[in-house]
Amino acid sequence: MNLRLLLACFGMFLVLGSQSASAEEATWKAGSAFVRITPDKPMWMAGYAARTKPSEGVASELYAKALFLEDTEGHRAAIITFDLISVLKELRDGVAKAVETQYGIPASAVMLNCSHTHCGPVVRSTSKAIKDIDTEKTKQSFEYSQWLKRALIDLVGAAVENAEPSTITYHRSQAAFAMNRRLPTDSGFRNSANPDGPVDHDVPVLKVVNSKGELNTILFGYACHNTTLSFYEFCGDYAGFAQAEIERNHPGVVAMFVMGCGGDQNPYPRRTLELAVTHGKTLATAVEAALETPAILVKGPVIARLEHVKVTYAPPPSKEELESRLKTGNKYIAQHAQRLLTQLETEGKLRDSYSTLVQTFQFGHDLTLVALPGETVVDFSLRLKREFSDRHMWIAGYSNDVFAYVPSRRILQEGGYEGGGALVYFTAILHPGPFAEDIEERIIDSVHRQLKSK
């Protein structure tokens, strides 16, 4: 794929006189880089199962970006973010392994986070096509994923090359366009704006300034589905527009978006390009506001940990139940049931567990970054911030392995789309049905183990 690598040029820095850091405060070596990842031809798009045709143009470019960090003790870490719907574990593992070999960054210290834009290409990291999915669609998404993997590895290399003595500070503000999207009704939870549901409006910000006092990277987060849009043009949605706005306000800076636990949060109002731009500007403004708050100096060392966490399922449907679902009249439920029946026939049983990844980065006593897998719902970030209220906690969702919605116990009990209804749309991994109710505990326990708080 003939896509052009656009690596960060550090010739143009915005000098922030009042915020300049002296050389002795520069406790990090840090560098960032970016690469344009917009497909150079029409492709099938991710996000909505009902899509009927490939993309038709580009509303805004898609990017992948990387931040490389090294503390004074030589611990290395890399955070990779990109404007795509998903991070598949196979892609993460391939990138992390190569990054460890080539740049000496431990695989456990490599984090991949996606913005979850629904206006990017379908990404598939396996050539194993599911038979009832269009083969041309599968082939082109597989080729794109292969190209993406190489681009991400080179991207981290560019960030390492750009590294220079730096100071890092943590800041925080809030933005309010995310609203809970699980509305209780007489017939169950409906995907609709619920002003009474839980939200996490925090906007965490990491500011990287070099020893000359020049701002070079802004990493920021928000917990909200990146789904203002559902059209047929490639677009980074609100998160893409927020990054572009920050980079416009600070020429030469790399602005990176980290998706939070926005599994059950939507931007409102939505459905027009103008609203995506507006939400992006709102988030960019919140980042600027955060930069005016007192700086929390983030010193090292950075200790990264990664655990494989096994999650299990509620009792699976019987063969008879699956056969009855073939006749429900809902094509997605029927397709899912047919795949499960085929699995039963060929493998003799359905999947009974899934192994995913939970990661943490402890920055001395100053900041804890938690990278949770899947389409993590807001209960996870609210709970972890409560249980670690003595620390500055940054809870990312959509990291390293976006394998399904990851519901809390509450949402599993309530049911609805994030509680299990959406599983029929996950074609990359064949889940037999909703997760067991202890999925929340298994993931939260891993965070506690890694942060040695229990």
Q: Given the complex with Zn ion, which of 116 and 171 has the nearer CB atom?
A: 116
Q: Given the complex with Zn ion, which of 245 and 375 has the nearer CB atom?
A: 375
Residue nearest to Zn ion (CB): 375
Q: Given the complex with Zn ion, which of 200 and 375 has the nearer CB atom?
A: 375
374-393: contacts with Zn ion (CB under 5 A):
375
Select the span of 92-100, 210-218, 352-360, 369-377 touching Zn ion (CB under 5 A).
369-377
Least gap, CB of 47 to Zn ion (angstroms): 8
Q: Is the bond preceding 204 in cis, omega lying within 30 degrees of 0?
A: no
Encoded tokens for 350? 């359905």
Q: Which amino acid is at 38?
A: T
- What track of x and - describes contact with Zn ion for positions 306 through 325 (by CB under 5 A)? --------------------
CB 321 within 8 A of CB 329: no
Q: Given the complex with Zn ion, which of 214 and 375 has the nearer CB atom?
A: 375
Least gap, CB of 116 to Zn ion (angstroms): 6
Select the span of 38-46, 230-238, 367-375, 427-435 touching Zn ion (CB under 5 A).
367-375
Q: Given the complex with Zn ion, which of 237 and 375 has the nearer CB atom?
A: 375
Between helix 378-387 and helix 439-450 the angle, nearest 10°, is: 40
Least gap, CB of 395 to Zn ion (angstroms): 17
Least gap, CB of 2 to Zn ion (angstroms): 31
Residues in contact with Zn ion, total (CB under 5 A)? 1
Least gap, CB of 287 to Zn ion (angstroms): 23
- Tell me how far the alpha carbon of residue 133 is from its chain's centroid: 25
Q: Given the complex with Zn ion, which of 191 and 342 has the nearer CB atom?
A: 191
Q: Given the complex with Zn ion, which of 83 and 375 has the nearer CB atom?
A: 375
CB 30 within 8 A of CB 162: no
Select the span of 101-109, 305-313, 322-330, 370-378 touching Zn ion (CB under 5 A).
370-378
Least gap, CB of 319 to Zn ion (angstroms): 30
Q: Given the complex with Zn ion, which of 88 and 303 has the nearer CB atom?
A: 88
Select the span of 7-15, 153-161, 234-242, 368-376 touching Zn ion (CB under 5 A).
368-376
Least gap, CB of 153 to Zn ion (angstroms): 27
Work out the number of other CB atoms within 10 angstroms of the CB of residue 272: 12
Q: Given the complex with Zn ion, which of 181 and 207 has the nearer CB atom?
A: 181
Least gap, CB of 226 to Zn ion (angstroms): 8
Phi-psi region of 237 (alpha: psi -120 to 50; beta: other; left: phi over 0): left
Least gap, CB of 199 to Zn ion (angstroms): 16
Q: Is the bond preceding 267 in cis, omega lying within 30 degrees of 0?
A: no
Q: Given the complex with Zn ion, which of 27 and 399 has the nearer CB atom?
A: 399
Work out the number of other CB atoms within 10 angstroms of the CB of residue 346: 7
Name the β-bridge partners of 119. none
Least gap, CB of 375 to Zn ion (angstroms): 5
Least gap, CB of 397 to Zn ion (angstroms): 10
82-141: contacts with Zn ion (CB under 5 A):
none
Q: How far apart are CA 379 and CA 386, in angstroms?
A: 10
Q: Given the complex with Zn ion, which of 59 and 377 has the nearer CB atom?
A: 377
Kindly list the residues in this chain that would bind Zn ion in the complex (CB under 5 A).
375
